[in-house]
Amino acid sequence: MYSHAIIEGFMKVSTASVSDAVDKIAKTRGFMDHAIKPRINEKKIVGPAVTILEGPTSESLPPKHALDAIDESPKGSVIVIAINAETDVAVWGGLMTAGAEVNGHAGAILDGAVRDVTEIRRDSDFQVFARSVCPSTTVGRFETLASNVPVICGGVNVNPGDLIIADLDGVVVVPKEHVDAVLEMATEIEGREAEQARLIRETKSLREGLAKYGRI
């Protein structure tokens, strides 16, 4: 869906710069809330969102839409699972990780919990950002309702195909219609900040760097 140049471009800029660019260009919040953190390693992920919506159930049903998405989505996808910020139910585990990794997906973003963390860290370098870590299963508690529909994850609207950028600072959603412009601005922001940091170090003055570039 996105060119190699777009993916590589976003790999080179921080989520902080991307978040600032989304603020200015899309006029909306792009950053997910702070609780959605990397739970496996420090790997950065960039890729188009494949969305999954979950809802409560008392039936013992497998997460069909999520399983289908893992097997059927294009290589490089980021699986985004919305479960209304439920912290005590794991929507992702070791088997789903194995399936996602062999299908070449970029990572997973969960508005719920991940489990099997020890297994995932031992057997994989697949990255999972999640609201929490919890041993419980969704089976008998939640079911997948739909895939590739608009969802809310981490307080942010995510549409199928929006670009997800996630690193140690957190997760940012770039609306698909603004991807090119956001990358251009984020790259410019990174360049200015590098120049500003050099000036601060050279002059040994934070205020002088701020006065010249007007940015903090």
How far from 197 is each of 20, 54, 185, 206, 215, CA to CA, in Å? 18, 44, 18, 9, 11
Any domain includes 13: yes
Separation of CA 136 from chain center: 23
Whole-angstrom Cα Rg for the chain? 18
Residues with Cβ within 8 Å of 1's Cβ and at least 6 positions away in sequence, in order, are: 48, 74, 161
Q: Which of 28, 10, 20, 17 is nearest to 157 (CA)?
A: 28
Angle between helices 179-203 and 206-213 (to 10 degrees): 140
Any domain includes 200: no
Res 201: pLDDT: 74
Any domain includes 86: yes
Any domain includes 215: no
Number of domains composing the chain: 1
Any domain includes 190: no
Any domain includes 24: yes
Res 195: pLDDT: 66
**Average pLDDT per consecutive 10 residues, the chain (216 residues; last block may be shorter):** 96 96 97 97 98 95 95 98 96 98 98 98 97 95 97 98 98 98 95 71 64 57
Beta carbons of 195 and 19 less than 8 angstroms apart: no
Res 212: pLDDT: 58
Beta carbons of 185 and 25 less than 8 angstroms apart: yes
Any domain includes 187: no
Provide the b/e sequence for 82-109 (b: ≥16 CB within 10 Å): bbebbeebbbbbbebbbbbbebebbbbb
Q: Which domain holds residue 73?
A: 4-175
pTM: 0.91
Any domain includes 118: yes
CATH number at residue 24: 3.50.30.40
Res 198: pLDDT: 72
How far from 133 is each of 12, 39, 81, CA to CA, in Å? 29, 8, 15
Angle at 29 between CA 24 and CA 30, to 5 degrees: 95
Query: What three-state secondary structure class fits 118?
Result: helix
